[in-house]
Amino acid sequence: MSTVTVPAAAPTLVVRTVTVDTDEPLLHLLPPGPVEQCASWVRQGEGLVGWGSAVSCETRGPSRFEDAREWWSAVTAGAVVRDEVGTSGSGLICFGSFPFADDSTEPARLVVPEVVVGRRDGRTFVTTITTRPELTPLETPGAAVPPAPPLDVAFADGALSPTAYAGAVAAAVGRITAGEVDKVVLARDLVVTSAEPIDPRWLLRRLADEYDNTWVFAVAGLVGATPELLVRRDQGLVTSRVLAGTIRRTGDDEKDLALAASLARSSKDLEEHEYAVRSVAEALAPHCSSINVPESPFVLHLPNVMHLATDVAAVAANGATALALAAALHPSAAVGGTPTADAVRIIGELERMDRGRYAGPVGWMDAAGDGAWGIALRCGAIDLNDPRQIRIFAGCGIVAGSDPESEVAESVAKLVPMRDALMDA
């Protein structure tokens, strides 16, 4: 069953975007405030941050993407927008984050902030969104009070201990060998507690400092730095960055280069990667023209791991919006498996947890159908009822040749960004 929580009569939004003159890093503009009202989609200093909540929506179940579309089209239809900037991310936008599974107990959360600050090609703009009929005076946002680090941080196993996770990987390999599926992505979680409420702004700054090759995101308490772009639509142009196939970094540059070369030749990783790329190309095909899939992947270097990566490009057809494309692509083989439905069923049996919004689409969209949706990886979900707690996640693609111990080590490496971000600098 699906439930949509929208104000009975959605108020008319009055939206204004103007250029502003500030060099302050976007993430430094975010003021302190409720966890659920801190929003970010930032990469290499550009992107969008937002705070406050002009309107929001929660929806559950298999129809969550369709519900979100309906809600967004009602919100945008009734808005009065004066956009003096006219670039990607200016005007009326909303941030959003969707649970991985149809049967998750967690809702998808969409929020239109009261203030959005964006930066594109070095140009900064601010959008104010109000439900009041008169325009409020604009102030250039200034550097906010800096966040404090989490205090007395303690880590505990979530649903599966490392040993139990290794057992789940072995069980998955068994089911692959038995011919049930080709690939299944298995994840595990850690429950982290702090003595004080966790400030998402602390995590965002730490992640952005360390992982500039990623999209640093926050939506309603889900905070992380994902290297994987499910789909971006920019004036109808579609791109997707597909990752699958991973190797841990050693910290020794020379060794890492040799490892990168071996990753690009590893048949296990190339096979795993191929499943993921194919699932993306096939899901885009009905909604796009001129799909371009490079013949072989490149190696994406991150501070903790390296991935095989492929950037798929296409042109949106039939007015397919970024949200519609994300809905069509989710769950890709990078976070589900192959074939999708069987892999998702096995995930439900072996992981013993609700992924919540981990591995679901996270990002933003505008009124014209453009937007960017990443896959929520290398992230954690701050408990909105008790913000002293955060669940952090990592998963690994399992294929016939996977070794349980190596997958445990890979999951540990994938937890590093959030683990480090939770510690004092």
Q: Which residues bind ligand ISJ (CB under 6 A)?
A: 185, 187, 228, 243-246, 307, 334-335, 377-378, 393-397, 414
Residues 216 and 207: beta-carbon distance below 8 Å:
yes
- Give the residue with the Cβ less far from ligand ISJ, 117 or 173: 173
- Compute CA 270 distance to the chain's CA centroid, rounded to the nearest angstrom: 24
Beta bridge partners of 294: none
Eight-state DSSP code of residue 9: S
H helices present in 304-353, as ranges: 322-329, 340-350
Report, as residue numbers or ranges, the catalytic residues: 183, 228
Q: Are strands 154-157 and 183-193 parallel, antiparallel or unpaired?
A: antiparallel
- Compute CA 257 distance to the chain's CA centroid, rounded to the nearest angstrom: 28
| Residue 21: Cβ within 10 Å count | 7
Q: For residue 182, how many C-alpha atoms fall within 13 Å in the half-sphere facing its CB?
A: 15
> Which residues fall within 8 angstroms of residue 303, CB to CB, at 6 or more apart?
210, 211, 249, 417
Q: Least separation, in Å, of the C-beta of 34 and ligand ISJ?
A: 27
Phi, psi of 293 (to 5 degrees): -115, 110
- Give the residue with the Cβ less far from ligand ISJ, 26 or 190: 190
- Give the residue with the Cβ less far from ligand ISJ, 277 or 316: 277
Q: DSSP 3-state assignment of 5?
A: strand
Q: Least separation, in Å, of the C-beta of 183 and ligand ISJ?
A: 9
- Give the residue with the Cβ less far from ligand ISJ, 305 or 322: 305
Q: Least separation, in Å, of the C-beta of 395 and ligand ISJ?
A: 3
Q: Least separation, in Å, of the C-beta of 161 and ligand ISJ?
A: 17
- Give the residue with the Cβ less far from ligand ISJ, 107 or 227: 227
Q: DSSP 3-state assignment of 193?
A: strand
Q: Least separation, in Å, of the C-beta of 375 and ligand ISJ?
A: 7
In the numeric block, the tokens 């298995």 are attached to: 186
